[in-house]
Amino acid sequence: MTASGGRDSDTARIETFSDGVFAIAITLLIIEIGVPHVVGTESLFDKLVRLWPSYLGYAISFLVIGTVWANHHNRFRLISRSDHILLFLNIVFLMCVAFIPFPTALLADYLSGTDKHRTTAVAVYSGTLAVTAIFFTILWLYAAGNYRLVDRAIDPLLLRAMTRRYVVGMLLYILAFALAFFSAAASLALIVILALIFVLPEPEGPRRRSVRR
Amino acid sequence: MTASGGRDSDTARIETFSDGVFAIAITLLIIEIGVPHVVGTESLFDKLVRLWPSYLGYAISFLVIGTVWANHHNRFRLISRSDHILLFLNIVFLMCVAFIPFPTALLADYLSGTDKHRTTAVAVYSGTLAVTAIFFTILWLYAAGNYRLVDRAIDPLLLRAMTRRYVVGMLLYILAFALAFFSAAASLALIVILALIFVLPEPEGPRRRSVRR
Amino acid sequence: MTASGGRDSDTARIETFSDGVFAIAITLLIIEIGVPHVVGTESLFDKLVRLWPSYLGYAISFLVIGTVWANHHNRFRLISRSDHILLFLNIVFLMCVAFIPFPTALLADYLSGTDKHRTTAVAVYSGTLAVTAIFFTILWLYAAGNYRLVDRAIDPLLLRAMTRRYVVGMLLYILAFALAFFSAAASLALIVILALIFVLPEPEGPRRRSVRR
Amino acid sequence: MTASGGRDSDTARIETFSDGVFAIAITLLIIEIGVPHVVGTESLFDKLVRLWPSYLGYAISFLVIGTVWANHHNRFRLISRSDHILLFLNIVFLMCVAFIPFPTALLADYLSGTDKHRTTAVAVYSGTLAVTAIFFTILWLYAAGNYRLVDRAIDPLLLRAMTRRYVVGMLLYILAFALAFFSAAASLALIVILALIFVLPEPEGPRRRSVRR
């Protein structure tokens, strides 16, 4: 009897808690957008239009968190056991996900500002996503390495394809971070493309070793 | 094995996540209402009364999100499979739902303001609901078209009746948006009426084709 | 096939959604307490102590929402069917529950203020709870009247004892509202007592008619 | 039929509600970190760096709440019955957990301030965690004492080991509170160590009495 046990129901519990954190983090994004205050003869419409970086940040982060949720959930369907290290890695990973509303608000406030501030904001934003991707990859490598916590019946080719997928994804998020220092637009575009790609189908393949024998 | 799989348990997962987002978005509405600050001999009661647009916006949005939740949940009971496009359309749809607290706060701040600001606020509010209705309809058309993702046993007449219901609802929300430019009261009244209508029973009919043969 | 169906799984769905709203409303209470800002040689400790109305409001509202959650959940265990009116009454009831953080923040801001402001704040607070109790009672009367939506096997004496319990509770919350105009302390004390009483065991009795025959 | 019933499904219900509160409290931590506003030629990067106490507070509280969640959930797997006192103790315990975002924000604001303010902030922070640990221990002692609510088949040695674990943990949290008055760093370090220790495996042992006979 350990803090995370070692049974299927434990991974179910981790999933449910994680799903809650995802749903809340994604919905909290909106409260970072403040209603503009107009004075005198200012146009409310113009003020709302000038909030476009807030809407853009909201849309990108919503898409990113939604995609990360889908991938996280899928991975836990292959993970059949849990241990304390997985529990700990998952808490650290969720810590990154729940942090995303902060750099999103930062992006919204400074995307239309001076070049220097924009660079800082986009770097912090893409950097947060890169760190999130790094912890996701570590979590997966820990669980899948030597079939430590994944179902032993899964095809090793499939596991390897997934590992490749996550490592490449992680490297591209790090590239998005590096791009932030040259072009905010290029960095954000890469992030949107990555989110759209990761909603796409995963590498297919026979899921169970037995199938191949 | 794809990001959204293709089994019943996948639609269950999408539903649970969506329900979480609905529950949080509906409950977050309240934090947009700030406690008034009274100075000197001002009456707190008067200040609270003058917040009536906030209470009205809270009540309308609560009713709208509650109704949308009920309809979303019902539709997913007919959808028996999922794919990446459904997953993506659902994330975009939830992005609209989770956005609602922002135009609600806007409505609360400007409903009792000048005519021009009121028009802008009501147009943004009804426009958000119209866009939400559009994505809900697209999601349904995608899932129900050619029985793509819905249970094959469902009566085609029932599917058609539902499609009609959502298309008409969508057009009426677009009408509410158009009305906002002529009368804020008429626009909001239509929105309340639509919410009350959509809590009402849906078109009945034999649910399974087999029943009719 | 209606918006709320008519099967057990539908009341389960309403319960899950309601539980989500309760959990979020109870946890949102904390964000209404702002960290005090000290200037110069002011004591942070003193400033924190002076926030006592915030802590008191937090504790009372947490206790009240926790108790209402327990009672709501118990009632839905007896309700075996649902219809559109129940769905609608439940949304209105949840609208009251999710509203509680606002009067709680009001209470926190004005409990230590002038007599007049305190009276207003306590009246709005107790009034919100009274309205919540009224809708809870209406919901119960609707579901239990003529065994409309409750399990037909339940002992009529038990149903009547519960109805009495809720009607009396509602009247006492209305009394707490009336008391607010004479004594803030008495009104709040009654609210705390009511919350503690409603955590206590409910009227016992043979649950199933069959048991008595 | 009582407010908390007395069946397994009741502890499941308490668990689900508690999990919701944990997930929300942990995710709400981020909204206490405000985006810095830069004026003139100030560096946004410098301003972000100076927010380090906010990031530290966020990370510690996230780790603490995550650990408390894991322990709470594990304890309820041994608790097979519930009663009103457990329900009440659990609400009070959750009241402490949901309160954590407030002292976290306090810590973030005053950790880099004057010595006196820092002492106050760290004392309030560690004091909140100590009170949370006290209520967790009371809840456990109530449930486990004389096998009141736990599974009768559990080895008494295991129960005693767990009780020891929680009492020692509680004393160490109280020590962290006392340390706050001498060294903020030592107090926070102890809190982090405690969180890391409580993610570690619990005392093992034959879970069922029958095993030992």
Q: Tens of pLDDT along B30-83? A: 988 989 999 888 899 999 999 999 999 999 999 999 999 988 888 888 888 888
Q: Which residues of D touch C38 (CB under 8 A)?
A: 117
Confidence of residue C62 (pLDDT cuts 50, 70, 90): very high
Q: Which residues of A touch B94 (CB under 8 A)?
A: 26, 62, 66
Candidates C9, C11, C17, partner chain B, best to mutate (most B CBs within 10 A): C17
Residues in C whose CB is inside 8 Å of some CB of D read 19-20, 22-24, 26-31, 33, 35, 37-38, 43-45, 48, 58-59, 62-63, 66-67, 69-71, 73-74, 77, 158, 198-202, 204-205, 207
The nearest alpha carbon in chain C to B56 belongs to: C95
pTM across the whole model: 0.89
Cβ-defined contact of A17 to D205 (cutoff 8 Å) = no
Q: Is the pLDDT of residue C10 over 90?
A: no
Cβ-defined contact of D1 to C59 (cutoff 8 Å) = no
Q: What is the dihedral of CA B100, B106, B110, B112, to 10 degrees?
A: 40
The pLDDT of residue C186 is 96
Q: Is the pLDDT of residue B205 over 80?
A: no
Residues in B whose CB is inside 8 Å of some CB of C read 19-20, 22-24, 26-31, 33, 35, 37-38, 43-45, 48, 58-59, 62-63, 66-67, 69-71, 73-74, 77, 158, 198-202, 204-205, 207
More confident residue, C102 or C12: C102
Percentage of the residues of chain A whose pLDDT score is greater than 70: 89
Residues in C whose CB is inside 8 Å of some CB of B read 1-5, 13, 16-17, 20-21, 24-25, 28, 31-32, 84, 87-88, 91, 94-95, 98-99, 101-102, 105-106, 109-110, 116-117, 120-121, 124
Q: Is the pLDDT of residue A40 over 70?
A: yes
Q: Region A134-156: what's the mean pLDDT?
A: 92
The pLDDT of residue A16 is 86
How far is A70 from C202, CA to CA, in rounded Å?
A: 43
The pLDDT of residue A11 is 82
Residues in A whose CB is inside 8 Å of some CB of B read 19-20, 22-24, 26-31, 33, 35, 37-38, 43-45, 48, 58-59, 62-63, 66-67, 69-71, 73-74, 158, 198-202, 204-205, 207
Paired tokens of A8: 């299927």
Q: Is the pLDDT of residue C179 over 60?
A: yes
Q: Closest Cα of chain C to B135: distance in Å?
A: 19
The segment with the largest mean pLDDT, out of B100-109, B193-202, D200-209, is: B100-109
Candidates D22, D27, D100, D162, partner chain A, best to mutate (most A CBs within 10 A): D27
Confidence of residue B6 (pLDDT cuts 50, 70, 90): very low
Closest CA to D112 of D54, D71, D174, D38: D54
Beta carbons of C86 and C142 less than 8 angstroms apart = yes
Cβ-defined contact of C91 to B27 (cutoff 8 Å) = no
Q: Is the pLDDT of residue C54 over 90?
A: yes
The pLDDT of residue D5 is 38
Q: Region B198-209: what's the mean pLDDT?
A: 55
Candidates B17, B19, B27, partner chain C, best to mutate (most C CBs within 10 A): B27
The pLDDT of residue B203 is 53
CB within 8 A of B12, min separation 6: which ones? Answer: none
Beta carbons of C3 and C84 less than 8 angstroms apart = yes
Tell me the mean pLDDT per 10 residues along chain D, length 213: 44 86 93 88 91 94 92 86 89 95 94 91 96 96 91 89 92 97 95 85 49 37
Q: Which residues of D touch A13 (CB under 8 A)?
A: 73
Query: Which chains are within 8 Å of B by 3+ CB pairs?
Result: A, C
Q: Which residues of B touch A22 (CB under 8 A)?
A: 17
Exposed e or buried b per residue across D59-79, where buried means at least 16 C-beta atoms within 10 angstroms of its C-beta: ebbbbbbbbbbbbbbbbbbbb
Q: Which residues of A touch D27 (CB under 8 A)?
A: 20-21, 24-25, 28, 98
How far is C171 from C175, CA to CA, in rounded Å?
A: 6
Paired tokens of A203: 């590498």
Q: Is the pLDDT of residue A23 over 70?
A: yes
Cβ-defined contact of D106 to C35 (cutoff 8 Å) = yes
The tens digit of pLDDT for each residue in C70-122 reads: 888 888 888 888 888 898 999 999 999 999 999 999 999 999 888 899 999 99
Q: Region A110-115: what's the mean pLDDT?
A: 90
Beta carbon pairs, B and C, within 8 Å: 94
Q: Region C122-139: what's the mean pLDDT?
A: 96
The CA-atom distances, in angstroms, between C186 and each of A146, C64, C175, D67, D128 are: 66, 16, 10, 40, 29
Q: What is the dihedral of CA A211, B4, B6, B12, to 10 degrees?
A: 120
3-state secondary structure chain A: CCCCCCCHHHHHHHHHHHHHHHHHHHHHHHHHCCCCCCCCCCCHHHHHHCCHHHHHHHHHHHHHHHHHHHHHHHHHHHECCCCHHHHHHHHHHHHHHHHCHHHHHHHHHHCCCCHHHHHHHHHHHHHHHHHHHHHHHHHHHHHHHHHCCECCCECHHHHHHHHHHHHHHHHHHHHHHHHCCCCHHHHHHHHHHHHHHHHCCCCCCCCEHHHHC
Beta carbons of A8 and A80 less than 8 angstroms apart = yes
The pLDDT of residue A207 is 45
Question: What residue type is assigned to position C159 of the chain?
Answer: L
Cβ-defined contact of A158 to B116 (cutoff 8 Å) = no
Paired tokens of D72: 């709470």
The tens digit of pLDDT for each residue in B82-104 reads: 888 898 999 999 999 999 999 99
DSSP per-residue string spanning B94-144? HHHHHHTHHHHHHHHHHTTS-HHHHHHHHHHHHHHHHHHHHHHHHHHHHHH
The pLDDT of residue A203 is 53
Cβ-defined contact of D202 to A3 (cutoff 8 Å) = yes
Backbone φ and ψ of D79, nearest 5°: -85, 115
Paired tokens of C65: 């929402």
Percentage of the residues of chain C whose pLDDT score is greater than 70: 89
Residue B158 CB coordination number (10 Å): 19
Query: Which chains are within 8 Å of C by 3+ CB pairs?
Result: B, D
The CA-atom distances, in angstroms, between D196 and each of A11, A85, A87, B77 are: 20, 11, 11, 43
Cβ-defined contact of C62 to D109 (cutoff 8 Å) = no
Cβ-defined contact of A70 to B124 (cutoff 8 Å) = no
The nearest alpha carbon in chain D to A108 belongs to: D35
The pLDDT of residue D9 is 61
- In this prediction the ipTM stands at 0.86
Q: Is the pLDDT of residue B125 over 60?
A: yes
Q: Closest Cα of chain C to D125: distance in Å?
A: 12
More confident residue, A147 or D11: A147
Cβ-defined contact of C105 to B35 (cutoff 8 Å) = yes
